[in-house]
Amino acid sequence: MSDILDRIIAVKREEIAAAMRSAPLEALKLEASARDLRDFVGALRAKQAAGHAAVIAEVKKASPSKGVLREHFVPADIARSYAAHGAACLSVLTDEQFFQGSVRYLEEARAACTLPVLRKDFIVDAYQILEARAMGADAILLIAAALDTPLMQDLEAYAHSLGLAVLVEVHDRDEMEQALTLKTPLLGINNRNLRTFETSIQTTLDMLDMIPPERIVVTESGILSRTDVDTMRAANVNAFLVGEAFMRADQPGEELARMFF
């Protein structure tokens, strides 16, 4: 694990311990049971079946590598804009310390539209998955670089037991082999190296030979232009997770439409 990833995971474990003291499991289970679910995988497949790019549009204020991406940050407005311009799903950062995210942002974004929502965070414990369900998320992210295979399998099984979709994220071929042991159809390839924060969309292209046709490849990070989109679609990669390009635009939804449709 990289230094930054090590630091993030250490903070997560502290946050989980504090959260478990303030919101015990039984209370969270009650909240989770009251939430409806939206079909995250189905929304992606529907876009692809119609011949369109399936875009997971990200609601992200900041990142450790780029700082603040968007000063005027209103999650509900951003979500509505994405929904109106063809997004399949949303991704909302809930990590506070490193990405200036918030659980409240996820709740506001989901309430503003009908799109399924991914909780974008560093999941290392089943408690966070129950938290995700309770806050209204429809999917979670599992990052292979932060988890060993048995733990990743256990976390996936728990997420699926709650009805949540799982996007597993990898950056290299070893992590892809690990990810392919999971049942989820959603394989995210992060073009950003979490150890160096360097980005190359070639990362996705170099791993396509490993992936069975029934899986959905989601290319993540570094998709900044229509040219990048065309490069991916020419390689039959039709699902995208994009944040920075949209967040830096005056109108995020219009930028989504310009890049993809």
Residue of 12, 120, 131, 238 with catalytic role: 120
* Cα–Cα separations (whole angstroms), residue 118 to 111, 168, 218, 236: 14, 12, 13, 23
All residue ranges of the chain with pLDDT < 70 are 1-2
Residue of 81, 91, 221, 238 with catalytic role: 221
Compute the half-sphere exposure of residue 27: CA atoms within 13 Å on the CB side of its CA: 6
Question: CATH for 3-260, among 3.50.50.60, 3.20.20.70, 3.40.50.2000, 3.30.565.10?
Answer: 3.20.20.70
Is residue 190 flagged as an active site residue? yes
| pLDDT for residue 67 | 92
**Are the beta carbons of 75 and 109 closer than 8 angstroms?**
yes
Is residue 244 flagged as an active site residue? no
Residue of 15, 156, 220, 244 with catalytic role: 220
| pLDDT for residue 74 | 97
Is residue 63 flagged as an active site residue? no
Residue of 15, 108, 156, 169 with catalytic role: 169
Residues 27-78 pLDDT 10s: 899 999 999 999 999 999 999 999 999 999 999 999 888 899 999 999 999 9
| pLDDT for residue 194 | 75
What's the per-residue H, E or C state across the chain? CCHHHHHHHHHHHHHHHHHHHHCCHHHHHHHHHCCCCCCHHHHHHHHHHCCCCEEEEEECCEECCCEECCCCCCHHHHHHHHHHCCCCEEEEECCCCCCCCCHHHHHHHHHCCCCCEEEECCCCCHHHHHHHHHHCCCEEEEEHHHCCHHHHHHHHHHHHHCCCEEEEEECCHHHHHHHCCCCCCEEEEECECCCCCCECCHHHHCCHHHCCCCCEEEEECCCCCHHHHHHHHHCCCCEEEECHHHHCCCCHHHHHHHHHC
Domain locations in the chain as residue ranges: 3-260
Is residue 220 flagged as an active site residue? yes
Residue of 12, 47, 58, 191 with catalytic role: 58
State both tokens at 24: 């015990």
The answer to pTM > 0.95 is yes
Residue of 63, 81, 91, 190 with catalytic role: 190
Q: What gap in Å lies between CA 217 and CA 179, rounded to an integer?
A: 12
Is residue 2 flagged as an active site residue? no
